Amino acid sequence: MKRIGFDGVFLMPAFIIFTLFLVFPVISSFYYSMTDWNGLDSTMEFIGLDNFQRMFQDKAVWSGLKNTFIIALLVTVFQNVIGLLLALGLQGTGRINRVMRVWFLFPALLSPLAIGYIWSYMYNPLFGVINSILEFIGLSDWTQDWLGDKKLAIYSVIFANIWQWVAFSMIIYVAGLQSIPRDMYEASNIDGAGALSRFKHITFPLIAPAFTVNMVVTMIVGLKLFDILFVMTNGGPGGATENLALMLYRQAFGMNQMGYANAIAILMFVIILIFSLIQVTLLRRREVEY
Amino acid sequence: MRVQRMFLPAVLLIWSIVVFIPFYLVVTMSLKSPIDLQLSPLSWPSSLQFANYWKAWTQANLGHSFMNSILITATSVILIVILSSMAAYPLARRTEKWSAMLYVYFLAGIMVPFQLAMIPLYKLLKALHLIGEYAGAIMIYSAMGISFAVFLYVSFFKTVPREIEESAQIDGCGPFRLFWVILFPLIKPISSTVVIINSLFIWNDFFIPMLFLQNKAMRNVPLSLFTFTSEYSNNWMLIFAAVVIGSLPLILLFILLQKHFIQGIASGAVKG
């Protein structure tokens, strides 16, 4: 009896704050998604699934969905490919390796807001750095309006986001690589395996746990990307970079459509849930014990 | 073979430059005069304008928002550490069914995107009169941070041998003293991971302050920067000076703690 009392004292504060400020809002979001609440009036009417019906007929939602998927796919692929390459180059414990890892992590320390400003300036068509560099190395034909071009803008923002976070993936891969027993490599050396086949048959299977974590995390981050889009393009030009996260923010706080915005939030949540479950199931199957 | 051996160093070299250029740009831009802007963006400033920093500091009201950022970040992080480590202890030790269920309950929070809670939180905070109050943002950050922290603490407590507690109990040590005097110092590595990851997120966040701390007196550093840039939208020298000032605290903290930081991310992610 006494033990339960102490457990309660230890658990209660966290339980109350977590329940009141996260669980309760999350659960009530399902209710709000079925109302016409506008955020200003204290009254709201229950309208069933009307918001969801409206959502699926809304062309903007479909294009936002498409952008959401493009961003998530490219962030997942490139952040993992670059992150893994950097980790392979810097997995050693020597001083240079450690210094370089710290250097690569610097972008991750900046506020996404700062990243937004920096890269807006990098991409500026008139006096931006990227076009200047291209001109300097004689590739004037490649200069672009990186954020103003409807086709390019989304990729420009995705690159800025990868620039910021790729070192996080790198660190997780480094940890995975360092946990591989050295004798595995020695054995493969004796067998005369080349670098590529060693990567394919030893390294890649054995970093599977790090791979799972990285894939799932980068995908979720990609699916709900907000800050950097908000600062760099705010959905433009002409909706070319508008994703679900931006759309629901605008619906909620720009157009006072809280109920409708919550329906979009639920769509986002369902997508994240389904894709994470698929990824975890597929990737866990690949993990091996050693 | 030679191509293979050159490939990774080439990738490292290219990425070092890709990381370097924007940092170089921010620092040189923040020191330029308006005339220098006409030159190429990569050129070194003709004279160093340290006055930009002073202007940015005063005009973006950064002194005040620094205090706000420190207050909000420190309070939230301390709450997350204390609440999560305490909750994790019984969750790691009890074998009854309720403890497993509660653990899953806390973990579920990792899956939830903030957007799902955002609109109901707006209504809840309005009802509690916490919009435009530090406490509102602090409660939200704490609730968001608890899940991952509980997860890290529970896995760590499970590696702490029970014998330590049993011998302390035999010596007549009560559960609170046992926790704070004996166990809490033991879990320091996880606490530093929790502190670093949450400080990084809370210090840099501007979304939650934008929704819930609009009041000028409450703004944190990123939100001040955000409102400042709409007033000085083309004054890139001042914007970048403010970016440097706002990023310095975390960069200094990182340089001091980088060993813990890297270990923390690695252990938090891979052991889970």
Q: Least CA distance to A98: which residue of chain B?
A: B259
The CA distance from A11 to the nearest CA of chain B, in Å, is 4
Q: How far apart are CA A287 and CA A179, in angstroms?
A: 14
B89: nearest CB among A10, A127, A265: A10
Q: Span B41-54, mean pLDDT?
A: 85
Domain ranges of chain B: 1-48, 57-269
Return the CATH number at A149.
1.10.3720.10
Q: How far apart are CA A18 and CA A278, in angstroms?
A: 27
Q: How far apart are CA A231 and CA A110, in angstroms?
A: 14
pLDDT digits (tens, 9 = 90+) for A143-164: 888 998 999 999 999 999 999 9
Q: Span B80-89, mean pLDDT?
A: 96
- Give the per-residue pLDDT at A289: 58
A175: nearest CB among B8, B119, B270: B270
* A16 is a domain residue: no
Any A CB within 8 A of B228 CB: no
Q: Which residues of B6-24 are buried (b: 16+ CB within 10 A; e: fewer)?
A: eebeeebeebeeebebbbe
C-alpha distances in angstroms, A29 versus A35, A118, B121?
10, 35, 9
Q: How far apart are CA B35 and CA A49, in angstroms?
A: 59
Residues A253, B115 contacting (CB under 8 angstroms): no
* A1 is a domain residue: no
- Give the per-residue pLDDT at A1: 44
Which helix (H) or strand (E) covers residue B197, if one does? Answer: helix B188-204
Residues A245, A69 contacting (CB under 8 angstroms): no
* A145 is a domain residue: yes
What is chain A's pLDDT, residue by residue, as a tens digit (290 residues)?
A: 456 678 889 999 999 999 999 999 999 999 999 999 888 887 888 998 999 999 999 999 999 999 999 999 999 999 999 999 999 999 888 899 999 999 999 999 999 999 999 999 999 888 888 998 898 888 888 888 899 899 999 999 999 999 999 999 999 999 999 888 878 777 777 777 777 888 888 888 888 889 998 999 999 999 999 999 999 998 889 889 999 999 999 999 999 999 999 999 999 999 999 999 999 899 888 776 55
On chain B, the residues whose CB falls within 8 A of the CB of A213 are 269-270, 272
C-alpha distances in angstroms, A78 versus A161, A215, A284, B58?
11, 11, 21, 40
Domain holding A155, by residue range, is 59-285
Asked if B261 lies within 8 A of A105 by C-beta distance, the reply is yes
* A214 is a domain residue: yes
On chain A, the residues whose CB falls within 8 A of the CB of B254 are 105-106, 109
Asked if A272 lies within 8 A of B21 by C-beta distance, the reply is no
Q: Least CA distance to B224: which residue of chain A?
A: A113
- Give the per-residue pLDDT at B34: 82
pLDDT digits (tens, 9 = 90+) for B133-177: 999 999 999 999 999 999 999 988 988 888 888 888 888 888 888
B116: nearest CB among A17, A26, A37: A26
Confidence of residue B272 (pLDDT cuts 50, 70, 90): very low
**Per the structure, how many domains does chain A have?**
1
Alpha carbon B40 to chain centroid distance? 35
Q: Least CA distance to B96: which residue of chain A?
A: A4
Any B CB within 8 A of A44 CB: no
Radius of gyration of chain A (CA): 23
Diameter of chain A by CA atoms?
Answer: 79
Asked if A14 lies within 8 A of B139 by C-beta distance, the reply is no
**Tally of CB atoms within 10 A around A46:** 11
* A218 is a domain residue: yes
* A15 is a domain residue: no
* A101 is a domain residue: yes
CATH superfamily of B57-269: MetI-like (1.10.3720.10)
pTM: 0.91
pLDDT digits (tens, 9 = 90+) for B13-30: 999 999 999 999 999 989
Residue type, position A144, single letter: Q
Three-class DSSP category at B217? helix
Which helix (H) or strand (E) covers residue B67, if one does? Answer: helix B62-93
Q: How far apart are CA B272 and CA B267, in angstroms?
A: 8
Q: Which residues of B132-168 are buried (b: 16+ CB within 10 A; e: fewer)?
A: ebbebbbbbbbbbbbbbbbbbbbbbbeebeeeebeeb
